[in-house]
Structure 1
Amino acid sequence: MKAYNLSPLQVLQAIQMANMEIPAGSVENEHIIYSVRLVAKYINLNELRNTVVKVTPSGGKMKVMDVAEVEDGIATQKLINRMDGRDAIGISVKKQSDANTVNVADLIKVELAAAEKEYADSGVKFEVAKDDSVYTKASANSVVVDLFLAIIIVSIVCFVFLHNLRSALIVMVAIPLSIVPSFIVMYFMGLSLNMMSLMALSLVVGIFVDDSIVVIENMYTHLERGKSKRRAALEGCNQILFTCMAITVVIVVVFLPLAITGGLIGNILKEFAIPIIIATLFSLLVSFTVTPLLMSRFGKLSDDTRPTLSGRFSHSIEHIFESMKIVYGKILAVGLRHKVVVLLITVVMLIGSVALIPAGFIGFEFIPETDQGELTVTLDMNPQVTSLSK
């Protein structure tokens, strides 16, 4: 090579350029997408020997066989796959960017089971060493559990604050009546139940009952004035209709930009924002249709003076609320007497909160690291001890 003024790198680059495989698009049918490749790889040793490495000024061609000996040998083994102490062949399957991890993993397992059955006579066994869908399913199931816990906790809180079992049950009707139609709309919009959408529904469980609680409380106010249940339902809803609509519109406007954001971030946030918008709109509809209907049929004023467990419980809750009102009134009075001090404290807290970001107390990252329950061990040892030949 020195005589021909060639370097090993030039020979290597010439071989790599002549031994290529180029993607040429894809062919798609109803169920499968086939990748098309332009294969220009060596078929035999003569093709490798006759590969042109350099063309001289006089037009002569220098080939690989002029500067090297080409032999058919065995490549040095640099990687092995072993599973449960036995030699194995490792196959990595990667999904497309827009594919569902769980669906792809389930389909792969079906194909592996069919292949194992087909090659049963040869003793071929397929085992999954790493499955990303396991963590995805576990995370989704965890969010589902959190959603049900949120519903239960909200039910308890509604009962405590309304101190009326009928009213609490009527309020809780708003949750399934808001979630189920949201699923239907999500289906037609092509959205799936994943960690983002489930977290969104967990977040809006409280929003589901907000409007219904306000409607019921206002209806109770009219009932206490001696009006009939039907009249209390009509006037109570009409009185706060635009207020509740304004609150709902504010929530929708907050999450709407996230739903229309483009790019990779938009694809992630869309699964979070759209379910919130849909469920919030349905909760408003339910609170001004189903909730007044149920209250006009089954709602009634509760008698907290009865010597029953429910009456004593309601009386105790009312006593706690009254005590909280007294404490809040005293704090408010102090704040109104020292307006300048309260304003300065508020400004300092606002500036301090914003300054936490540039000061480095709050960091930036794309997606926080999660514990997937997997352990990877990397060992750096003496090459003389860990060579594959030994």
Structure 2
Amino acid sequence: MLQRIIDFSLRNKFIVLAATVALVLGGVYSVRNIPLDAIPDLSDVQVIVFTEYPGQAPRIVEDQVTYPITTKMLAVPYAKVVRGYSFFGFSFVYVIFEDGTDLYWARSRVLEYLSGLSGSLPRGVTPTLGPDATGVGWAFMYSLQSDKYDLQELRSMQDWYLKYKLMAVDGVSEVASIGGFVKQYQVTVDPVKLRAYNLPLSKVRMAVQRSNGEVGGRTIELSEREFILRVKGYITDVEDLRQVAVGVGENGSPILLRDVATVQLGPEMRRGIAEWNGEGETVGGVVVVRYGANPRKVISDVKQSLDDAMKGLPEGVTYKVGYDRSALIDRAVKTLEEKLIEESVVVALVCILFLLHFRSALVAILILPTAVLASFVIMHGQGISSNIMSLGGIAIAIGAMVDAVIIMIENAHKHMEHDGGKKPHWAIIRDASIEVGPTLFYSLLVITVSFLPVFTLQAQEGRLFKPLAFTKTYSMAAAALLSITLAPILMGFFIRGKIPP
């Protein structure tokens, strides 16, 4: 079988070389487009259910919101752990799934089971899903800086402009605003005045809710022109809110909101602050990368979009980066790339020194990057990111990848030395390759399968070490295949002339 493969390769040199060129081009494309990260994603497949229940104590939230959702989520297929957390006014439920579960399938199942809770939760309480990201999706954080605008104005810029600009970037799952003050219309009702006007609080609340809206009418035609009738009613400032009628007095005059309450602009109640390097409070945003996206590319696009968005903000508003995972990614990948290059150079020098024939050493030198690029093609197709563990697998395999080729070259040297020019050159290469090629192929396969026990690892240790095992296995398998296909052809082209004894 393997002898026939070697024969086929030597008889069809053009086909093998064309396939090698296609493989190299595919490898270059994969290297340029493969996701970059510092380390493999070690987090579990999880879906977060967030529910707001304003003004309620944690005990009430636990009994009326968290408990019904948690018990319902226990029945979701492939859910192995369900954790519920209750706080003042809101609830979190984490549904953790078994390894290998598709995140979007898990989200659809959670939504399906949440639809059956509509009658079990308090009125007005609607659970929502968290971002479609992993536990390490937090990739970029920035802070808005200005000497001209206060925290409330900066927060408004973040909430109503920057947030939506960054959400449009491909690969961004969520942009969470932090810090500052959220602008709020605050109505402080005077109970004494309510009693004086004989008004219940519920009527005041209903009047305020109904006042902020517009009513559509019909259209009329005048002088061959069509006009649309509508009643403007949206509240645009504090004075509009003060003029809202909440009742009718004894003499028939309207009772306005300003007659029974104080209306003003103020900050929404907050439970925490964002601070910048101990210099004081700040406003910022946290960018969460979508599941399966390329973190390095997403962060780069976010920076570009943020720079473009700053042109639309008032003069004097700038931003500073608080956390940028791309710096860690670049350092980790660059360090390992340098080590891979150093290791490849050392392997090439060793081949030249011990073979004492540059063109013969060139066979092993060319096989090495070809096998590495072949492993990148499989990595890209499988969705394995380029990180310190996956590149480490290639680094481990580099020394062993050229072993078979070196032995085949040495065997070809011996055949050429003993033949003395009696046989045709390609016949000598064929005999030398067939003599040791199959044995060397199986020896490389033995090394390849040595990492198979790593694939049995589960949970976080499996997610950490499997990329290393995958890339090491792919590299060795590619080297084994190239040793019986491409290597004999390169040996025929390069092993010529005077061969040192």
TM bin, normalised by shorter chain, reads 0.5 to 0.7
Alignment equivalent of 2:311, drawn from 117, 126, 129: 117
Identity, % of aligned positions: 24
Alpha-carbon distance change, 232 to 274 in structure 1, aligned in 2, over 3 angstroms: same
Alignment equivalent of 2:129, drawn from 25, 29, 52: 25
TM-score (norm 1): 0.57
User: In 1, Cα distance between the equivalents of 2:417 and 2:457?
Assistant: 48
Alpha-carbon distance change, 165 to 20 in structure 1, aligned in 2, over 3 angstroms: closer
Alignment equivalent of 1:273, drawn from 469, 474, 485: 469
Matched, 1:251 2:447: yes
User: In 2, Cα distance between the equivalents of 1:240 and 1:132?
Assistant: 49
Give the CA deviation at 1:263: 2.4
The total of aligned residue pairs comes to: 264
For residue 129 of structure 2, what is the amino acid of its counterpart? G
Superposed counterparts of 1:1-390, under 5 Å: 19-20=89-90, 23-25=127-129, 81-82=275-276, 85=279, 87-95=281-289, 100-119=294-313, 121=314, 123-226=316-419, 228=423, 229-259=425-455, 261-300=457-496, 302=498, 304=500
Contact 1:26 1:33 in 2 (8 A): no
User: In 2, Cα distance between the equivalents of 1:114 and 1:247?
Assistant: 56
User: In 1, Cα distance between the equivalents of 2:406 and 2:308?
Assistant: 55
Alpha-carbon distance change, 270 to 100 in structure 1, aligned in 2, over 3 angstroms: farther
Alpha-carbon distance change, 27 to 216 in structure 1, aligned in 2, over 3 angstroms: closer
Give the secondary-structure state (helix, strand or coil) at the position aligned to 2:323: coil
Give the CA deviation at 1:282: 1.5
User: In 2, Cα distance between the equivalents of 1:218 and 1:260?
Assistant: 38
Give the CA deviation at 1:157: 0.4
User: In 2, Cα distance between the equivalents of 1:45 and 1:251?
Assistant: 76
Give the CA deviation at 1:244: 1.2
User: In 2, Cα distance between the equivalents of 1:207 and 1:299?
Assistant: 22
Give the secondary-structure state (helix, strand or coil) at the position aligned to 2:362: helix
User: In 1, Cα distance between the equivalents of 2:87 and 2:465?
Assistant: 43
Contact 1:223 1:301 in 2 (8 A): no
Give the CA deviation at 1:11: 7.7
Structure number with the bigger relative contact order (C-alpha 8 A, sep ≥ 6) is 2
For residue 217 of structure 1, what is the amino acid of its counterpart? E
User: In 2, Cα distance between the equivalents of 1:285 and 1:18?
Assistant: 62
Give the secondary-structure state (helix, strand or coil) at the position aligned to 2:320: coil
Give the CA deviation at 1:232: 2.4
The structure where strand makes up a greater share of residues is 2
Contact 2:393 2:469 in 1 (8 A): yes
> Which structure 1 segments of 5+ residues have no match?
1-9, 36-42, 51-71, 305-313, 315-390
Contact 2:357 2:499 in 1 (8 A): no
Contact 1:219 1:237 in 2 (8 A): yes
Contact 1:116 1:125 in 2 (8 A): yes
Contact 1:200 1:272 in 2 (8 A): yes
User: In 2, Cα distance between the equivalents of 1:186 and 1:265?
Assistant: 19
TM-score (norm 2): 0.46
User: In 1, Cα distance between the equivalents of 2:460 and 2:451?
Assistant: 17
Cα RMSD over matched residues? 3.8
Give the CA deviation at 1:270: 2.4
User: In 1, Cα distance between the equivalents of 2:406 and 2:91?
Assistant: 66
For residue 238 of structure 1, what is the amino acid of its counterpart? I
